Structure 1
Amino acid sequence: MLRLGGGLGAAGLLGGALTGCGGTAEAEPVTSGTVDLAFWTHDDAYVEYFRTAAENAAAAGASPFRWRLDPTRAGASDVVTKTIAQAIAGRGTPDVAGLEIGAFPRLLRGELAAELLQPLDDAVADVRDDLLTVRTAPFSKDGTLYALDSDAPLVVYYYREPEWRRIGLPADLGSWEELAEAGAQAHRRHDVCVGQVSVGSELGQVVQSFDMLLMQRGGTLFDERGELTIDSAEGEAVLTFLARGVQEGWIATVSDPMGPAMQAALKSGRVLGLWMATWYKIYGLVPNVPEQSGEWRIRPLPAFRDGGSRTSFTGGTGFAALRGKENTLAAVDLITAGYLTPAEQVRRFLDLGYLPTRRSVYDSEELLRTEDEYCGGQRMFEVYRGVIDEAPVFHLSPDKPVLDTVLSGYLLRAYRGDLSPREALRRATDDFHGQTRSSRS
Structure 2
Amino acid sequence: MNRNPNRPASRLAAIGGVAIAALALTACGPDITSGSDDTAASDRLQAPTAEQPEGEITIWDRSGDLYEVFDAVIDEFNEKYPGITVHHEAVDINAKLQNTLITGTDVPDGVFLDDALVSSYADHLWDVSDVLAPYVDDIAPQKIDATTVDGGIYGVPYDLNPGLLYYNAAALEAAGIDATTIETYDDLLDAARAYQDAKPGSKPIHLEQSAFLGQLQLEMYASQLGTSIADADGELRLDSPEYEQILTFLDTVQTEGLGTRAEYLSPTDIAELENGNQVFYPWAIWFDFAPQQLLPETSGDWRAMELPAWEDGGARSGAMGGSSFVLPKDGENADLAWLFYEFLMYDEAGYSAVWGVNDIYPTGLNTSIPAYLPAADPTEPLFQPLEALGGQDLWEVATTAGAQIPSGTAIPSWWNGAVDYLGNDIQKMLDGDLTPAEVISSSTEGIQSNLIDRQ
- Shared fold per TM-score greater than 0.5: yes
Structure 1 residue 385 displacement after superposition: 3.6
**Shift of residue 437 of structure 1?**
5.2
Structure 1 counterpart of 2:204: 194
The question of 1:414 aligning with 2:422 is answered no
Unaligned runs of 5+ in 2: 1-20, 36-42, 357-363
CA distance, structure 1, for counterparts of residue 273 and residue 355 of structure 2: 25
Aligned twin of 1:267 = 274
Q: How much has 1:240 moved relative to structure 2?
A: 0.7
Is residue 411 of structure 2 the alignment partner of residue 404 of structure 1?
A: no
| Alpha-carbon distance between aligned partners in 2 of 1:268 and 1:199, rounded to the nearest angstrom | 19
* Cα drift, residue 368 of structure 1: 8.0
State which of 91, 101, 121 in structure 2 corresponds to 1:87: 101
Alignment-mate amino acid for residue 416 of structure 2: P
Q: Is the 8 A contact 1:187 1:249 kept in 2?
A: no
Identity %, equivalent residues? 22
Counterpart secondary structure, 1:226: coil
1:51 and 2:71 are equivalent in the alignment = yes
Amino acid in the other structure paired with 2:373:
R
- Aligned partners of 2:111 and 2:325 also within 8 Å: yes
The CA distance in 2 between the partners of 1:52 and 1:364, in whole Å, is 25
Moved more, 388-397 or 31-40: 31-40
* Gap change, CA 1:195 and 1:73, over 3 Å in 2: farther
Which one-letter code corresponds to 1:152 in the other structure?
L
Whole-Å separation in 1 of the counterparts to 2:32 and 2:374: 43
Counterpart amino acid of residue 243 in structure 1: D
Task: Report what 1:311 is aligned to.
Answer: 317
Determine if contact 1:176/1:304 at 8 Å carries over to the other structure. yes
Distance (whole Å) between structure 1 residues aligned to residue 450 and residue 28 of structure 2: 11
Give the RMSD, CA atoms, in angstroms: 2.8
Q: Aligned-pair distance for 1:317?
A: 1.2
- Is residue 66 of structure 1 aligned with residue 66 of structure 2? no
- Matched residue, 2:150: 142
For the residues of structure 1 that align with 2:383 and 2:58, how far apart are their CA atoms?
Answer: 37
What amino acid sits opposite 1:314 in the alignment? M
Given the alignment of the two structures, is residue 183 of structure 1 paired with residue 192 of structure 2, yes or no?
yes
Which deviations, in whole Å up to 9, do the C-alpha atoms of 1:188-227 show, x marking residues without a partner? 4413333212223xx3212123222222234321111111
Q: CA deviation at 1:64?
A: 5.5
Whether contact under 8 Å (2:23, 2:417) holds in the other structure is no
In 2 relative to 1, CA 4–128 (structure 1 residues): closer, same or farther, beyond 3 Å?
closer
2:445 corresponds in structure 1 to 430
Which residue of the partner structure matches residue 303 of structure 2?
A: 297
Deviation at 1:271, TM superposition (A): 1.6
Work out the CA distance in 1 between the residues paired with 2:28 and 2:150: 20
Q: Is the 8 A contact 1:207 1:408 kept in 2?
A: yes
Matches within 5 A, 1:110-125: 113-114=122-123, 116-125=124-133
**Secondary structure, aligned partner of 1:103:** helix
Task: Summarize deviations over 1:8-28 as a string: whole Å, max 9, x none.
Answer: 686746758xxxxxxx9x9xx
State the partner residue of 1:324: 330
Counterpart CA distance in 2 for 1:321 and 1:369 is 28
- 1:276-295 alignment, distance < 5 Å: 276-282=283-289, 284-295=290-301
Q: Cα distance 1:217–1:438, how it changes in 2: closer, same or farther (>3 A)?
A: closer
- Distance across 1 between alignment mates of 2:287 and 2:105: 37
Letter in 1 for 2:189: A
Q: Which residue of 2 aligns with 1:215?
A: 223
Note the C-alpha offset of 1:392: 2.0
Matched, 1:6 2:25: yes
SS at match of 1:92: coil
SS of residue matched to 2:113: strand
C-alpha distance after superposition, 1:272-324 (max 9, x if no partner) = 12111112213x33232144332211111112237731111111111112223
SS in 2 for 1:97: strand
Correspondence 1:346-357 to 2 at 5 A? 346-350=352-356, 351-353=364-366, 354-357=368-371
Take 2:97 and 2:233, find their aligned partners in 1: how far apart are those partners?
26
Q: Which moved more, 1:187-196 or 1:207-216?
A: 187-196
> Which deviations, in whole Å up to 9, do the C-alpha atoms of 1:110-163 show, x marking residues without a partner?
xxx13x222222222222211111111112211212212221110011111111
Report the alpha carbon displacement of residue 245 of structure 1 after superposing the two structures with TM: 0.4
SS in 2 for 1:253: strand
Task: Give, in angstroms, the shift of residue 432 of structure 1.
Answer: 1.4
Aligned to 1:341: 347
Deviation at 1:229, TM superposition (A): 1.1
Once residues 14 and 368 of structure 1 are traced to their aligned partners in structure 2, the CA distance between those partners, rounded to angstroms, is 38
Q: Are the equivalent residues in 1 in contact too, given 2:300–2:389 (CA < 8 A)?
A: yes
Q: Tell me, yes or no, if the aligned pair for 1:51 and 1:69 is still in contact at 8 Å.
A: no
Q: 1:438 to 1:388 in 2, by over 3 A?
A: closer
Partner of 1:258: 265
Q: TM-score, normalization: structure 1? A: 0.85
Q: Distance in 2 between matches of 1:437 and 1:159?
A: 39
Partner SS state of residue 380, structure 2: helix
Say which is worse superposed, 288-297 or 242-251, in terms of deviation.
288-297
Kept in 2, the 8 Å contact 1:254–1:261? The answer is yes
Q: Is the 8 A contact 1:195 1:252 kept in 2?
A: yes
Alignment partners' CA distance in 1, 2:307 and 2:101:
43
